[in-house]
Chains A and B, each alone.
Chain A
Amino acid sequence: MQRHLISAADLTRDDAVLILDTAEEMARVADRPIKKLPTLRGRTVVNLFFEDSTRTRISFEAAEKRLSADVINFTAKGSSVSKGESLKDTAQTLEAMGVDAVVIRHSASGAPYRLATSGWIDAAVVNAGDGTHQHPTQALLDAFTMRRRLVGRDAGLGKDLDGRRITLVGDILHSRVARSNVDLLHTLGAEVTLVAPPTLLPVGVETWPCEVSYDLDSTLPKSDAVMLLRVQRERMNAAFFPTEREYSRRYGLDGDRMAKMPDHAIVMHPGPMVRGMEITAEVADSDRCTVVEQVANGVSIRMAVLYLLLGGNEPAVSHARPTEEK
């Protein structure tokens, strides 16, 4: 049984499908009058957030509480970290308090990996987003949302996303969501296309298991799902694109563009959305947009991950990073 979830690339197809299937079971808990399972009673999970993220932290906290875990929330702001304490010392302090799992969000790429592999702590580590590297539970909840919409809620059990065509649009270069989704969707058999201006695509993207295009309009008619990624306005200062207006004209999704998509195709966004620039209100508020579902599904996915890492009997998550070379 592997103990950590650091990267979507670490998941095998069977691991990922098991998590998605387990999340379906967890989703049923949300339909009950009492939304709680005793699974992690007596286990302590700390949410170690070195970077602001209300949405993800609350989602993990809800998942932990629905599984009856004892939850400790740690935010760096105002803590000993702001007084100069290191990640290692912070982690070891928390472990000394008997923590079973650490859900970590960090602005530094690789921080969760270091935490899991450096020997600083024994607890299971779940990556809740690290720098521009990975956000595996986001990718899982996105895949879960796609499977429910494109394959079916019950019909999807045990199945992957074989042959589905998924388009990711926007700031691929700085997006941990994009990296995670490319890895996971490929593992699940989907055909992924990245669409962005060349300035917002990473060097070496041609080696990724996906297609790359600069042209959104030609990609839309053959997409089963279009996921828009947030473009940070401060990127404009670094000359990644000329103006917000030009970006919106070339890569924003409005009603006319959405009409080019197949009737069954869905629009996704990991949030928070910048309305008007990357997505119009008309699209964001349409029935085809799954943003709210993604949030709800996030809780189910995180329940499934924590259950399988800490409470489940079946191996769910492999950890296939290369060993550290000395």
Chain B
Amino acid sequence: MSKTLIRGAKVLGGEPQDVLIDGTVVEAVGTNLSAEGAEVVEADGKVLLPGLVDLHTHLREPGREDSETVLTGTRAAASGGYTNVFAMANTFPVADTAGVVEQVWRLGQESGYCDVQPIGAVTVGLEGAKLAELGAMHESAAGVTVFSDDGKCVHDAVIMRRALEYVKAFNGVVAQHAQEPRLTEGAQMNEGVVSAELGLGGWPAVAEESVIARDVLLAEHVGSRVHICHLSTAGSVEIVRWAKSRGIDVTAEVTPHHLLLTDELVRSYNPVYKVNPPLRTERDVMALREALADGTIDIVATDHAPHPHEDKDCEWAAAAMGMVGLETALSVVQETMVDTGLLDWAGVADRMSFKPAKIGQATGHGRPVSAGEPANLTLVDAAYRGQVDPAGFASRSRNTPYEGRELPGRVTHTWLRGKATLVDGKLT
């Protein structure tokens, strides 16, 4: 059956409407649409959003298939309501050549659950010393548009300047992991009262803020655009706000976990809370929420970072940094932004679909839910509340900080170009 009628869905949280999918596109949006010849999905007032787009995902393939593969990662993405993810370059080998990015892109094509757009490394081997072949990666079948050494900061100001200048040739964007390396040597958590008490090396806010300040000025100087990965401090928000007010072409993302969790949780020494950048203070969390609401922070990105159990079931210092996020992102955003009144569902669509697609030039994604548009859609039961059970995750790794925590919202259906990848919460 090539037609699907989604009946009574609140499109972007508005009044209930019917949405008719025909083949790969949305044929009509309206009331009392005919269900003839169509499979009917009773939405019953669930919220219909454009398929979510994640500008910051780690799929681990090639090289760390014990953590995640493109297939398991895209299944996790579909479970979380995503139809497009950007795969970070810190694989083994590093995605710093046309060959590797094409491999990731093809694996994404084959998965069928979610489009995958590889991110290319800015520098060879993520070593920060020599520019990777950015043009070749852009011209490859993968058509790379976003470049990042994520996990490592492009800390050399000259290399960063050259990267920003070079990608202008094909309207690319450099996504910076802002972390001044010398200020964060030995860092294991946010520097502050808690790190001092726990005796864990501190990651000071200024190590992020100083790099962002430098990079927005570099972007202004060379007339390029820069994207800041996973903002985590109130000071970073202020710098991005200032840069935007000055007309600098900067965009920024925040992760769901930085909108919800604080460094107080590290008192448990449970490595599930170990992440880079680290969990910050309550003041930072509130500043990030406000900035996402007022548009200073453009998008939510998951920084989905799967790790096998043994890499987390150990002492804090030995544990890997990162947490999975694709399957809980929307719930955390609902908890922190929607249920608090800071953002409506149209705002969520903007921050989690329209804008990330625009930043990453994800063709066919982040489009309005209207006739003629690709049928990349996500249906959310916003009234649902339940405990997070990682046993049901599609991701190969289960390193979530939310195990047992009650969160609102549940993605029930996802469609990728009209094909259902998730039905009633189950992957097809």
Residues of A within 8 A of B (CB): 86-88, 106-111, 113-114, 117-118, 130-134, 176, 179, 202-205, 207-208, 321-326
The docked-state distance in angstroms from the alpha carbon of A109 to that of B199 is 6
The docked-state distance in angstroms from the alpha carbon of A130 to that of B269 is 12
Interface residues on B, range: 20 to 34
Is B246 part of the binding interface, using a Cβ–Cβ cutoff of 8 Å?
A: no
Name the one of A179, A207, A325 contacting B199, with C-beta atoms under 8 angstroms. A179
**6 A-B contact pairs sorted by A residue (CB < 8 Å):** A86-B314, A176-B199, A202-B196, A321-B268, A322-B267, A324-B268
Q: Which residues of B contact A179 (CB under 8 A)?
A: 197, 199
Q: Smallest CB-CB separation from A326: which chain B residue?
A: B404
Q: Is the CB of B193 within 8 A of A207?
A: yes
Q: Is the CB of B199 within 8 A of A132?
A: yes
Q: Which 5 A-B pairs have the closest CB atoms?
A: A133-B199, A110-B269, A108-B317, A204-B193, A202-B196
Binding site secondary structure of chain A: loop
Q: Is the CB of B403 within 8 A of A326?
A: yes
> Given A107-B317, A108-B318, A203-B204, are A324 and B270 also a contact pair (CB < 8 Å)?
yes
Q: Which residues of A contact B402 (CB under 8 A)?
A: 326
Is B68 part of the binding interface, using a Cβ–Cβ cutoff of 8 Å?
A: no
Q: 1/0 per residue B292-331: CB within 8 Å of A?
A: 0000000000000000001001111110000000000000
Q: 1/0 per residue B248-282: CB within 8 Å of A?
A: 00000000000000000101111000000000000
Q: Is the CB of A110 within 8 A of B193?
A: no
Q: Is the CB of B199 within 8 A of A114?
A: no
Q: Is the CB of A110 within 8 A of B200?
A: yes
Q: Which residues of B contact A321 (CB under 8 A)?
A: 267-268
Q: Is the CB of A110 within 8 A of B196?
A: no
Q: Which residues of A contact B191 (CB under 8 A)?
A: 203
Q: Is the CB of B317 within 8 A of A111?
A: yes
Q: Which residues of B contact A130 (CB under 8 A)?
A: 199
Q: Smallest CB-CB separation from A324: which chain B residue?
A: B268
Min C-beta distance of B374 to chain A, whole Å = 39
Name the one of A87, A107, A131, A325 contacting B200, with C-beta atoms under 8 angstroms. A131
The docked-state distance in angstroms from the alpha carbon of A68 to that of B151 is 52
Q: Is the CB of A111 within 8 A of B196?
A: no
Is B198 part of the binding interface, using a Cβ–Cβ cutoff of 8 Å?
A: yes
The docked-state distance in angstroms from the alpha carbon of A179 to that of B265 is 20
The docked-state distance in angstroms from the alpha carbon of A28 to that of B179 is 56
Is B405 part of the binding interface, using a Cβ–Cβ cutoff of 8 Å?
A: yes
Q: Is the CB of A108 within 8 A of B316?
A: yes
Q: Which residues of B contact A322 (CB under 8 A)?
A: 267-268
Q: Is the CB of B314 within 8 A of A204?
A: no
Is B195 part of the binding interface, using a Cβ–Cβ cutoff of 8 Å?
A: yes
Q: Which residues of B contact A134 (CB under 8 A)?
A: 199
Name the one of B188, B196, B310 contacting A204, with C-beta atoms under 8 angstroms. B196
Is B409 part of the binding interface, using a Cβ–Cβ cutoff of 8 Å?
A: no
Q: Smallest CB-CB separation from A87: which chain B residue?
A: B315
Name the one of B193, B267, B269 contacting A114, with C-beta atoms under 8 angstroms. B269
Min C-beta distance of B180 to chain A, whole Å = 15
Q: Smallest CB-CB separation from B194: which chain A residue?
A: A204
The docked-state distance in angstroms from the alpha carbon of A106 to that of B188 is 16
